[in-house]
Homo-oligomer: A and B are copies of this chain.
Amino acid sequence: MPIFIKKRSKNVGLPPGTLIHIGEKKVEKTKITLIDYDEMHFQEREIEAVDESLRLKDQPTVTWVNIDGIHQVEILEKLGRYFGLHPLVVEDILNMGERPKIEDFGDYILIILKIPYYYDKISNEIETEQISLILGRNFVISFQERERGIFHPIREQIRNGKGRIRNLGADYLAYALVDSIVDAYFIVLEQLEESMESLEEKVLTNPIPETLQTIHNLKREMILLRKSVWPFREIISRLEKEESPLIQESTKIFLGDVYDHTIEVIETVETFRDMLSSMLDIYLTSVSNKMNEVMKVLTIIATIFIPLTFITGIYGMNFRHMPELGLRWGYPMVCIVMIGIGVLMLIYFRKKKWL
């Protein structure tokens, strides 16, 4: 079963704003990478400590700080202080059980999203991880539970100066990150579509109990996907309509594009849920049909032979006075009668379309 709520009992009773990491620890050590770029310059390095001059605030370049692994509370605390984040923001980033959401704090915007990944491809088990983004005036900070490579292409584009990313601001970078997160859903959905196609064939041709479990698993994954992608709609729609100076008009047309993709993800999940319900119906009916067939075979055999056996039973009785037993043609006649009964039965079954 995918985990629907993270253990919160840990921080129940603590005053709000107390920083504590809720969730599984997925990497050994927090890794911080910094990319700093504008149209002309590009700089990329790994940061050891947060105290080190992370960036110059008055610089006009765009700074992207990416954090992989967020269980080291003290690092995030320092980072929060360095960038002037509200304590609740850092608490939310640390809590893996947060619902996807967007919050505008004036100077910066907090975006919390979920990214799906295949935990186990054979059993179609999907899990989600949390990715938090902070979009400031000329910086973006991204927090991942673990490096999963989904931001590689963006990094590559910045490095090579491909596309328009180097010419545009931090808001375009944030858009690109959100876009790649939505794309991750498409990748998962494509694989799920393949699973469903093979499942559909199985359901119709050879429904076995394992098929049922696969349907059940897929249904559960759909519930999980739906729960994690549903809030995207509102988040991206709010980003699009935000009157914040952090987001430029020219970026909003791109956000409209991501919004369309999000709607498509949601609709596809809904479509898949509908189809899984339909498959469950088919499965149940197939099982019913099979049982019906079994019953027919039993009934045909039993209804033919039970009366015949009764006849043999009659002439197996040991009464002294049974005139038929002494007849010359008694045996062949009884055989003919029995064959006649059998044939009549078969005709009846044919008429009933049981054969």
Contact = CB atoms under 8 A, between A and B. Distances in A.
A125 interface: no
Contacts of A267: 99, 227
Q: What size tier do the contact residues of chain A reach? A: 35 or more
A263 B7 contact: no
Contacts of A324: 319
Interface string A147-166: 00000110011000011110
A40 interface: no
Copies in the complex: 5
Contact of A288 (B153, B216, B287, B327): B287
A190 B8 contact: yes
A354 interface: yes
A343 interface: no
A298 B303 contact: yes
B186 A8 contact: yes
A355 interface: no
B223 A213 contact: no
Contacts of A187: 8-9, 12
Contacts of A1: 196-197, 200
A193 B291 CA distance: 32
Residue in A156, A163, A318, A354 whose Cβ sees the most chain B Cβ within 10 Å? A318
Interface stretch (A57-65, A114-122, A235-243, A253-261): A253-261
